[in-house]
C-alpha cells in the first residue's frame, strides 16, 4: 500500500507552489548518521556519484568529508534511487543530513512511491524523521518519514496550499 496518494499530495509536488528543489533533511544528525546514509547507498546498490568541484572521486568516509577545512568547497553526492530520480546530498554540516530532489522528476503515483520508499529507507536506517520543506522555507515541513508510524505522512494540510 502506498504511503501517500498522488491525488492527496500533488500540490506539494507542484514546482510553481513548492519551488522545483524542495529541501529534504534529517535534523539532529551526526557524522555517524551521514556514514549510515553512505553505507545505505552502497548496501542498496543505488547508482551514485561523489564529486568535489568538477572532479569525480570515490565516495570517502563521512568523517573525512565533514572534517574538511573551513572555506573548502562543499562536495556533493548524487544518488539515483531509481532511473530518472535524483537526490543530491550536500555535506554542509554534520548535524543535519540534507539533500535536494527535483519535483519535476517526481510526478505521478509511481514516482511518488519511489520518493516515499527512499525517505523510508533513510528514516528507518537512521531511526529519525526525514522532512521535506518547500524550497527556501526551512523549518516548515509538508511531509516526511514518521519514525513511529514507519511510513511517510503528511505534516501540512494540502488544502492550505
Q: What is the pLDDT of residue 160?
A: 60
The pairing of strands 76-82 and 47-52 is antiparallel
Q: Read off φ and ψ for residue 125, nearest 5 degrees.
A: -65, -40
pLDDT at 159: 67
Give, in order, the Cα–Cα distances in Å from 158 to each of 31, 50, 143.
34, 35, 10
- Residue 63's CB: how many other CB atoms inside 10 A? 12
* pLDDT greater than 90 at residue 61: yes
Residues 67-118: tens digit of each pLDDT? 988 888 899 999 999 999 999 999 999 999 999 999 999 999 999 999 999 9
Q: What is the pLDDT of residue 157?
A: 86
Q: Can you give the pLDDT at residue 158?
A: 80
CB 113 within 8 A of CB 2: yes
pTM of the model: 0.94
45 close to 127: Cβ distance less than 8 angstroms:
no
DSSP state of 49: E
Rounded to whole angstroms, the Cα distance separating 126 from 153 reads 17
In this prediction, residue 126 has a pLDDT band, given cuts at 50, 70 and 90, of very high
**Distance of alpha carbon 85 from alpha carbon 99, whole angstroms:** 13
Amino acid at each position: 500500500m502506498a504511503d501517500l496518494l498522488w491525488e492527496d499530495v500533488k500540490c506539494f509536488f507542484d514546482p510553481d507552489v513548492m519551488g522545483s528543489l524542495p529541501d529534504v533533511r534529517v535534523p539532529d544528525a551526526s557524522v555517524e548518521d551521514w556514514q549510515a546514509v553512505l553505507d545505505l547507498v552502497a548496501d542498496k546498490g543505488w547508482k551514485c556519484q561523489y564529486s568535489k568541484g568538477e572532479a569525480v572521486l570515490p565516495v570517502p568516509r563521512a568523517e573525512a568529508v565533514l572534517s574538511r577545512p573551513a572555506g573548502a568547497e562543499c562536495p556533493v553526492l548524487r544518488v539515483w534511487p531509481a532511473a530518472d530520480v535524483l537526490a543530491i546530498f550536500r555535506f554542509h554540516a554534520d548535524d543535519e543530513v540534507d539533500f535536494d530532489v527535483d519535483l519535476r522528476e517526481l510526478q505521478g503515483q509511481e514516482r511518488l512511491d519511489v520518493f516515499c520508499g527512499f525517505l523510508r529507507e533513510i528514516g528507518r536506517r537512521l531511526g529519525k524523521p526525514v522532512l521535506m520543506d518547500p524550497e527556501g522555507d526551512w523549518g516548515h515541513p509538508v511531509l516526511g518519514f514518521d519514525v513511529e508510524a514507519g511510513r511517510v505522512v503528511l505534516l501540512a494540510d494540502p488544502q492550505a496550499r
